[in-house]
């Protein structure tokens, strides 16, 4: 299909940029998704409550993860699921347990490297601070200092002439601690006191935190014809946004043959092994409880899982104009070429031939082109939640996504058409 002939829904990409800006952390992303689902008629249910088998849209949240599903009228206890999966986390710099530090007259914040960020992309950026704090009264609160608060300053070339010949070399411990003011002495509790003041809390109210830095520059269109989008956390909030839009759209329809599900996990960037990661039991527990709430037995659960298919949506690599030799010579995914089907015969991706057919059928139904991605044989292949989901729950899984440049940078780049095309393909898949 020639995408130039397709009317481009700029509104979808505008909405993606708003979603990225509203979601500086996994916790904020979950809150944003939940608000959108509630607007679409979904209701939040607590894991500690008894669930009923009524039809309609429901969701559960746990930290940086959210699972949402829509039970159509007349669904049986063994009705299979159609799952679209993604992850909410992105590589970044996260605040350590003892964050207050100083060096040579500068006040700094001690950070730990989360995931595998392109460290150079964090240099000389205006950084905000956001995340989740736990309070003395047992409650939690989202916080967001959305202004230029911190900065990781790069060393001037005059003090490191070798950078021009040997390249930039960064020590994760010594060179990545951001500054946020002047002062030669360490004042323990300074950062938390600042956050308490910013959020109208009393001194000593914050007793725990999961805080991270983020670049405050807003997403934007890029290019002569604005055919590209630059922005933060596309890996993988681009997919979370598309999955949310697809589920909300499908929930408006009647006579669905499957139960559509959104599964957005945390901690993909460091292995998914947590109670909110894809390697934890959250998705399986939710799907099982939905079966049992509809009066099902273990046999119904087995039948439902046997007929379930998951599309694991994550970003992949568009061919790089300056490093074409790093890509497979026969597979060059391009921006605005439609979603990518990700294949690796060593099961770093979960796609097989039958899974390819499922995705091809969804794209054909949606009138969306798609591309294939495989890694150069000489390059190690990354992985996703796809193989984990397949192995953990015995669910057929297909790895797909959107081709981008600058993956794991503070600011990534995708085609402006591709988010819309991905959402349409996911919608067609959930429809069955």
Q: 362 CB contacts (<8 Å, ≥6 apart)? A: 311, 425, 426, 428, 429
pLDDT for position 2: 38
pLDDT for position 10: 86
Q: Which of 234, 214, 192 is nearest to 126 (CA)?
A: 214
Angstrom distance (rounded) from CA 251 to CA 249: 5
Q: How big is the chain by its Cα radius of gyration, in Å?
A: 22
Q: How confident is the model at residue 176 (pLDDT cuts 50, 70, 90)?
A: very high
Per-chain mean pLDDT for the chain: 96
Report the C-alpha dihedral over residues 18, 3, 87, 249, rounded to 10 degrees.
Answer: 70
DSSP characters for 62-106? ETTEEEEEEE-TT--TTPPEEEEEEE----EEEEEEEEEEEETTE
115-154 tens-digit pLDDT? 999 999 999 999 999 999 999 999 999 999 999 999 999 9
pLDDT for position 187: 87
319-354 tens-digit pLDDT? 999 999 999 999 999 999 999 999 999 999 999 999
**Percentage of the chain exceeding pLDDT 70:** 98
Phi first, then psi, for residue 336 (nearest 5°) are 65, 20
367-386 tens-digit pLDDT? 999 999 999 999 888 999 99
Angstrom distance (rounded) from CA 97 to CA 396: 40
pLDDT for position 8: 61
Q: How far is CA 143 from CA 74, 210, 271, 348, 413, in A?
A: 42, 10, 26, 36, 27
pLDDT for position 6: 45
Angstrom distance (rounded) from CA 78 to CA 388: 23
- What is the mean pLDDT of the segment spanning 80-88? 98
pLDDT for position 161: 87
**Percentage of the chain exceeding pLDDT 90:** 93
141, 198 in Cβ contact below 8 A?
no
Three-point CA angle 85, 276, 412, nearest 5°: 55
Angstrom distance (rounded) from CA 130 to CA 32: 14
Pairing mode of beta strands 220-222, 228-231: antiparallel
- What is the mean pLDDT of the segment spanning 266-272? 97
Residue 93, pLDDT above cutoff 70: yes
- What is the mean pLDDT of the segment spanning 85-109? 97
Report residue 33 CA to chain centroid gap: 11
Residue that the structure tokens 């559960």 belong to = 60
Residue 45, pLDDT above cutoff 60: yes
188-214 tens-digit pLDDT? 999 999 999 999 999 999 999 999 999
Residue 7, pLDDT above cutoff 80: no
Angstrom distance (rounded) from CA 290 to CA 63: 21
Residue that the structure tokens 């309070």 belong to = 135
Q: Which of 101, 256, 260, 284 is nearest to 178 (CA)?
A: 101
Please provide the distance, in angstroms rounded to a whole number, between the alpha carbons at the two ends of the chain: 22
């Amino acid at each position: 299909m020639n995408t130039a002939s397709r009317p481009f829904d700029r509104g979808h990409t505008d909405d993606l940029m708003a979603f990225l800006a509203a979601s500086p952390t996994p916790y904020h992303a979950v809150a944003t998704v939940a608000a959108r689902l509630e607007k679409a008629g979904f209701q939040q249910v607590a894991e500690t409550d008894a669930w009923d088998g009524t039809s309609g849209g429901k969701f559960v949240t746990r930290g940086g993860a959210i699972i949402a599903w829509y039970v159509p009228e007349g669904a049986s206890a063994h009705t299979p699921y159609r799952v679209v999966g993604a992850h909410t986390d992105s590589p970044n710099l996260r605040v350590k347990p003892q964050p207050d530090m100083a060096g040579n007259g500068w006040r700094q914040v001690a950070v730990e490297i989360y995931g595998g960020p392109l460290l150079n992309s964090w240099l000389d950026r205006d950084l905000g601070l956001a995340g989740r704090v736990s309070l003395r009264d047992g409650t939690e609160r989202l916080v967001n200092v959305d202004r230029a608060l911190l900065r990781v300053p790069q060393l001037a070339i005059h003090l490191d002439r070798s950078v021009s010949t040997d390249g930039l070399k960064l020590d994760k411990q010594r060179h990545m601690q951001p500054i946020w003011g002047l002062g030669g002495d360490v004042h323990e509790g300074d950062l938390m006191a600042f956050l308490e003041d910013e959020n109208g809390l009393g001194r000593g109210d914050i007793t725990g935190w999961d805080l991270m830095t983020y670049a405050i520059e807003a997403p934007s269109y890029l290019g002569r014809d604005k055919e590209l989008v630059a922005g933060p956390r596309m890996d993988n909030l681009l997919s979370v946004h598309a999955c949310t839009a697809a589920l909300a759209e499908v929930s408006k329809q009647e006579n669905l043959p499957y139960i559509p599900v959104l599964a957005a996990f945390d901690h993909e960037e460091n292995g998914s092994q947590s109670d909110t990661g894809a390697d934890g039991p959250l998705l399986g527990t939710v799907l099982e409880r939905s079966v049992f709430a509809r009066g099902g037995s273990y046999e119904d659960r087995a039948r439902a899982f046997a007929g379930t298919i998951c599309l694991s949506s994550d970003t992949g690599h568009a061919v790089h104009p300056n490093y074409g030799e790093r890509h497979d010579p026969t597979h060059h995914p391009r921006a605005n070429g439609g979603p990518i089907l990700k294949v690796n015969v060593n099961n770093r991706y979960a796609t097989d031939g039958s899974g390819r057919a499922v995705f091809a059928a969804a794209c054909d139904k949606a009138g969306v082109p798609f591309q294939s991605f495989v890694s150069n044989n000489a390059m190690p292949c990354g992985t996703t939640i796809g193989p984990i989901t397949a192995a953990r729950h015995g669910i057929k899984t297909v790895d797909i996504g959107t081709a981008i440049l600058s993956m794991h940078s503070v600011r990534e780049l995708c085609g402006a058409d591709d988010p819309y095309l991905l959402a349409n393909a996911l919608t067609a898949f959930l429809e069955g």
